[in-house]
Structure 1
Amino acid sequence: MSSGIVLVDKPGGMTSHDVVARTRRLAGTRKVGHAGTLDPMATGLLILGLNSATRLLTYVVGLDKEYTATIVLGADTTTDDAEGETLTVASPAAISAVTEAAIAAGITALSGDILQVPSSVSAIKVNGERAYARVRAGETVELKSRPVTISAFEVLETRRGEDRIELDVRVECSTGTYIRALARDLGAGLGVGGHLSALRRTRIGPFMVGDAASLEDLAPAQQLIASASAAAMLFPTVTLDAQRAVDLGHGKRIGLEGFPETSGPIAALAPGGRLIGLVSAGSTTARCIVNFPTDAAAEDSPEGPAQS
C-alpha cells in the first residue's frame, strides 16, 4: 500500500480509532493515524495518514477547522453535549425572555480572539491522565482557559419551543477550539444553560468533507491522495534536481536554487514528483526537518508520532 492521506466522512456512533482500525484492515497496513479526534457523537471529516504520510499529520492537526452544529439553549449537561446528564433546566419564562438580539450579542462575545475553558470531559491531560477519565472516575476537573480564535460564528436557523431554543450554527475556528464549550458558554451567558446536540466537521484547512469517502464506500487504495499531492496543498513546493534529491535523502544540506521565498516549511520533491521531505531554508542552504522514505523503506521504519 502506497503512502498518502485518505479523507473519510465519519458516521455518528463510532470513535475515530474505530475508523483507523477499519482502514488498517482495508489498507493492509498498521501504519495508519488520524489528524484530530472526533467524538463518537460527531460526524464529518477525518483525515487519515497511511505509512510514511503519517508524518504529515502533525501539520494537519494545527490547521483551522469548520463545523456545523446544533446548540440547545435551555439546559446544561455534565459533558456539555446531549450525551451527558442534565444539570439544570431553564423555565419556560426564562426561555421566552431570550431575544434574538441577546443571542446575537452572546455570539459576538464568543467571536474573535477569546479565552476558552475546554470541556471537562475533553482529552486534555491533567497530571498525566485524560480529563475525561478523571471526570468519569468521579473527580471534579477544572481546566485552565486557553486562547482560541473564532473567525466565524453564525446562526443558520433558529427553532423555538416552550422548553428550548435550538440554533443550527456554522463555526470556523482555530485548532484546539471546543464547540461544546461554545454551546455551554453561550447558554451560560444568556442565563438559561446550553449544550451541543449535533456536531459535524466540514473542513480542515484546505480539505473538505465533500471530497471524503463514506465509511461504507471506503477503499483506501482508490481514494488515496499521494503524499506529494497532499504536501502541495499544505506547503510551497520545490522540485529538486537528481543530485540534490539524493543529497537531501541522505540528510545533507542542499543549495537554495529554485526555492520559493517563505519562512515556513517547503515540500521538496524528486524529479519524478515523489515527496522527499519537508525542508527549512536558511540564508544559503536548506535542511530536512521531516523526511519521507520510499514505501519500501517505510515498511521497515518505526511508526511515527501521529499514529493512533
Structure 2
Amino acid sequence: MRKKPRTVFRALDGIVLLDKPQGLSSNQALQQVRHLFRAEKGGHTGSLDPLATGLLPICFGEATKIAGLLLGSSKAYETTAVLGLTTDSDDADGAPLLQRPVPELDDATIEAALAPLRGAIRQRAPIYSALKQGGEPLYAKARRGEAIEAPERDVVVHRFDLLGSEQGPDGTRLRLHVECGSGTYVRSLVRDLGEALGCGAHVASLRRLWVDPFSQPRMFTLDALREIAARGEAVLDGCLLPIEAGLSAFPRAAIDAEAALRFGHGQTIDCEAGEDGLVAVYSLAGRCLGLAQREGGKLSPRRLFRWAAAATREPEQPVAPSA
C-alpha cells in the first residue's frame, strides 16, 4: 500500500473564504484547506459546529495576526428550529432530553417570544461549547458526564426574525434569521425561544451567511477548491484575498516612506489628526504595514506584518483589489 506523500508546506499569506461543509469541525476543515494550499501557518476565525455550514474565514501566514480581530466581528446566520424537543447540546446532534406538545402558534405569538431575545441580552451558553472552565472546554466535561453549570454572559443580538414556518417530519419547524455580535450562540437563542413558547426547541440546521467585513462573501466549497487546485497552484492562489480585505472596516492611516521605516522598527510616529483607537497603517503604495493605536496625534505599533521593516528597502507592488 502506497503511503500518501507528505505535504511540503510553503510561506503563504492571505485569506480564503471557505463554505464549510456539514459534518466537519472547524479545525478539520482548516487542516484540509491548509494542506490543499500547502500553507505553513493557518488559523480560522471562530468555530462553526460540525452540524453547521457556511462562511469560515481561514487565514494563512501573516493573516493569522488579524484572526482574533475577526473573531469579534458581527455575524449573520439562517437557522431552522424544531419545536417540541430539547436536546443536551441544543441541536440535532445531541441526545434527546424532553419531548413536549407544541401549542397552536401564530406569527404574533412567535414575535412576542422573539422580541425579548433581541438587543443586549444575558445568555447562558450550551454545555456542549468551547467555553472553558478551569482551563478545559465545557464539551470535554460534558462528554465525561460531569455536572456543568454553563456560564452566562452579555451578548448583543441585532436581529432575530421569523422567516417562515412549516410542518416537517419531526414536527413544527421555524426558519429564523439571526444577526449578532461576538460570543452569541444561536443554539442558545433557539433553546430560549423554545422555552418562551412553552414547548422547547433545538437547532436542526445552521448556516453562517456572512462575517464582517465579508458582508457579501465569495465562498469556496472544499470540492471547488480541490477542482481549482487541479488546474495549478497559481490558479488556486487566485482564491486568496489579501490581508487588507480583512481590515477594510478599520480606519486607515497612510504614512510616507520615512515614517514607514520608523514604524516598521516598532517606533511611535506622528500622524494626522483622527479619532483615537486601533487603526490600520498603510504605506503610500497601499500595502498595510500593521495595526497601531492612534492617540493624541501619535501612532504606536501594536501588530506589525513581517514586511513592515522592509517597506522602504524593497520596491512595493500595488495591492490587488479584494474580491
Q: Does 1:240 align with 2:255?
A: yes
CA contact under 8 A between 1:111 and 1:152: conserved in structure 2? yes
Matches for 1:1-308 after TM superposition, within 5 Å: 1-91=11-101, 95-160=102-167, 164-208=171-215, 210-218=217-225, 221-231=237-247, 233-257=248-272, 261-294=274-307
SS in 2 for 1:265: strand
Which digits, 9 at most, give the CA deviation of each residue in 1:175-223, with x for residues without a partner? 1111111111111122111100000000111214641111112255111
Retained in 1: the 8 A contact 2:82–2:170? no
| Amino acid in the other structure paired with 1:221 | D
Looking at both structures, which has the greater relative contact order when contacts are Cα pairs under 8 Å and sequence separation is at least 6?
1
The CA distance in 2 between the partners of 1:49 and 1:96, in whole Å, is 46
Q: Is the 8 A contact 2:78 2:176 kept in 1?
A: yes
Whether contact under 8 Å (1:150, 1:172) holds in the other structure is yes
Letter paired with 1:264: G
| Distance in structure 2 (CA, Å) of the matches to 1:119 and 1:209 | 29
TM-align CA RMSD: 2.0
Equivalent residues of 1:2, 1:295 under 8 A apart:
no
SS of structure 2 residue aligned to 1:225: coil
Describe the SS at the equivalent of 1:196.
Answer: strand
**Pair 1:267–1:161, CA change in 2 (3 A):** closer
What is the TM-score when the length of structure 2 is the normalising length? 0.85
AA matched with 2:246: A
* 1:228 partner letter: E
Provide closer, same or farther for how the CA distance between residues 269 and 144 of structure 1 changes in structure 2, counting only shifts above 3 A. same
Superposition deviation, residue 253 in structure 1: 1.1
SS in 2 for 1:201: strand
Q: Which runs of 5+ in 1 are unaligned?
A: 298-308
Aligned in 2, Cα 1:158/1:2: closer, same or farther, shift over 3 Å?
same
Q: CA deviation at 1:9?
A: 0.7
In the alignment, the residues of structure 2 paired with residue 52 and residue 38 of structure 1 have an alpha-carbon distance, to the nearest angstrom, of 22
Contact kept in structure 2, 1:71 and 1:183, CA below 8 Å: yes
Which whole-Å CA distance do the structure 2 matches of 1:228 and 1:40 have between them? Answer: 29
CA shift for structure 1 position 262 = 2.2
Deviation digits for residues 8-35 of structure 1 (CA, Å, limit 9, x no counterpart): 1111111111121122212222310000
Deviation at 1:102, TM superposition (A): 2.1
Other structure's SS at 1:133 match: helix
Could you list the runs of 5+ residues in structure 2 that have no partner in the other structure?
A: 1-10, 230-235, 311-323
Could you state the TM-score of these two structures normalised by the residue count of structure 1? 0.89
Contact 2:118/2:159 (<8 A) preserved: yes
Q: Which amino acid aligns with 2:306?
A: P
Quick one: structure 1 residues 161 and 35, their matched pair in 2 at CA, closer, same or farther if it must change by over 3 Å? closer
Q: How many residues align?
A: 291
**Which range moves more in the overlay, 142-151 or 66-75?**
142-151
For the 8 Å contact 2:51–2:206, the answer to whether it is kept is yes
Q: 2:109 is paired with a residue of what secondary structure?
A: helix
Name the stretch that deviates more: 152-161 or 133-142: 152-161
Shift of residue 146, structure 1, vs aligned partner: 0.8
Structure 1, 202-211 or 137-146: larger mean CA deviation:
202-211
Q: 1:72 to 1:211 in 2, by over 3 A?
A: same
Structure 1 residue 127: Cα displacement? 1.2
Change (3 A) 1:179 1:243: same
